[in-house]
Structure 1
Amino acid sequence: MVGVVTKPSPPSTREAGDGTVTEREHERTRIIRAAAEGPTYVVRCHTGDDGHLRLLQHPRRRRCGGEGARRARRGPQPVSKLWRARSLEYTFVSNQIDAYQPFYEMNRDALQHALDAHDADVSEKERTEILAIYHELDVFDDVRDGIERLRDGGYDCYVVSNGNPEMLDSIVEHADIDDHIEDTVSADEVETFKPDARLYRHAAARTGTPIDEIAHVTAGWFDVMGAQHAGMQGVWVDRKRSPWEPFDGEPALTIDSFYDLADELGV
């Protein structure tokens, strides 16, 4: 999911039965664990003197698979990779053909496609349990401390995301960052997904901040481009030291972690 920065606020003082396990039960656990390896948080931050920060969490889908599936015997990676790809592709396509549906449903359809493509034998109940992982995503080690530094330094933090409101509320609560952010902004409010400019402009309007005074900090390259196209400053969280995409300019700033962002802003 994602976040937004508004104009600086006064420095904050907030704190941040034993039993036999059948093969199928073991496999279901493996699918759920594989589908829940962790989110990627995206931060938005204005690097000017009176900068504004926005935080976006964009879940890095957990890998999913099943030994009971003929083509998924190699592990969860093949299913996870297709699930992640289709989930993003569905959002991109829906923006162009006016086929919006809440992200949970989009993600559910993408998971079903990935499971079907790999002949994975997963029940409706098990699929629901896998999808529920999105409500309990963990954060990288630097996220809470980094956001706390930003808040203490006078930056109001928001979460702006493709996720529907219920998903955002549970993710923020589980990640234990609810005391560090001002609010969440969901794509469901405008019924369009990133990188559509309408979502970024809606987020800016929600914060009451001129869009060019917001820096969009995110791990998604397309998210950086979408934000910059809408008028924000793009900050790329490149945790893997990956090469930047070779078209449409470069981010205003590239960082490794939230610590780098706080350092850059001098807080």
Structure 2
Amino acid sequence: MAITLAFDVYGTLINTHGLLTQLEELVDDKAQSFSNTWREKQLEYSFRRGLMKRYLPFSECTRSALEYACKLHRVDMSTEQKSQLLSLYAELPAFQDTLYGLAALSHKQFRPYAFSNGTEAAVRKLLQASGTEQYLLDIVSVDDLKSFKPDPAVYDYFLQRSASDKEQSWLISSNPFDVIGALNFGMKAAWVKRSEAALFDDWEAKPTLVVDSLEHIGEKILQESVV
């Protein structure tokens, strides 16, 4: 039986810090810290909304996080500049290893899906722009449930949509909270640690597999599966 792979999109397939060049033009030497704040608040707002049951699409979390980053870093950005950044965010680039890793997957051995906090339309636009959609069977969006990762219900929904079971399903993500969420639900999970500085939360859950890129991800999962 083929192994089902749930690829997280933002931060795993797609580089959420892919607008540094554009940010440097707007905020100079604050670009990296501004980008970090934007991403951190984007996730925090999704967590809050998931817990409060006050769902809005992930794009609205992204918009609110941008507003917060501007206030925190005291950046006077015009409405037009914000709109331009949000438009560019909708077409963020893929990581260099993403295409290689996805293209190398054997469809006899794997069933690869995109699994994201973003809406299906937003994720499809990202994948098409980055050239990655062709390697994925389908897109599973939490928007259908009006919740966010790491709500256990969204991992269950992924299994339903992909017609898979926990034993034959892996989450692949660069986001520790997502990996922990999948492990908590009972799936296997690979943490993509692209940077030595990246830290995994000191929880009782540990990744099934740790990789430094998506290159050879299929081979490594197969090796882990037979251990």
Aligned to 2:144: 189
More deviation, 134-143/197-206:
134-143
Structure 1 residue 206 corresponds to structure 2 residue 168 = no
Aligned to 1:148: 103
Aligned to 2:10: 58
CA distance in 2, matches of 1:180, 1:88: 26
As a proportion of its length, which structure holds more helix? 2
Aligned to 1:35: none
CA distance in 1, matches of 2:138, 2:96: 22
Instruction: Please tell me the root mean square deviation across aligned C-alpha atoms, in Å.
Output: 2.1
More deviation, 75-84/108-117:
75-84
More deviation, 137-146/86-95:
137-146
Structure 1 pair 98–152 and aligned structure 2 pair: CA distance change class (3 A): closer
SS in 1 for 2:135: coil
Letter in 2 for 1:256: D
Aligned to 1:262: 218
Letter in 1 for 2:116: S
Structure 1 residue 112 corresponds to structure 2 residue 57 = no
TM-score (norm: length of structure 1)? 0.74
Which 5+ residue runs of structure 2 have no aligned equivalent? Answer: none
CA distance in 2, matches of 1:187, 1:98: 13
Counterpart contact for 2:104–2:216, Cα < 8 Å:
no
Aligned to 2:205: 249
CA distance in 2, matches of 1:243, 1:103: 24
Structure 1 residue 179 corresponds to structure 2 residue 134 = yes
More deviation, 127-136/144-153:
144-153
Q: Which runs of structure 1 show a deviation greater than 6 angstroms over 4 or more consecutive aligned residues?
A: none
Structure 1 pair 259–52 and aligned structure 2 pair: CA distance change class (3 A): same
Q: CA deviation at 1:194?
A: 1.0
Which 5+ residue runs of structure 1 have no aligned equivalent? Answer: 1-6, 9-50
Structure with bigger gyration radius: 1
TM-score (norm: length of structure 2)? 0.86
Q: CA deviation at 1:97?
A: 1.0
CA distance in 2, matches of 1:97, 1:232: 25
Structure 1 pair 67–237 and aligned structure 2 pair: CA distance change class (3 A): closer
Structure 1 pair 129–251 and aligned structure 2 pair: CA distance change class (3 A): same
Counterpart contact for 1:151–1:180, Cα < 8 Å:
no
- Select which of 228, 245, 257 maps to 2:183: 228
More deviation, 58-67/173-182:
58-67
Kindly provide the CA deviation profile for residues 116-161 of structure 1, in whole angstroms up to 9, marking residues without a partner as x: 2333222222111101122212112221121122134531211010
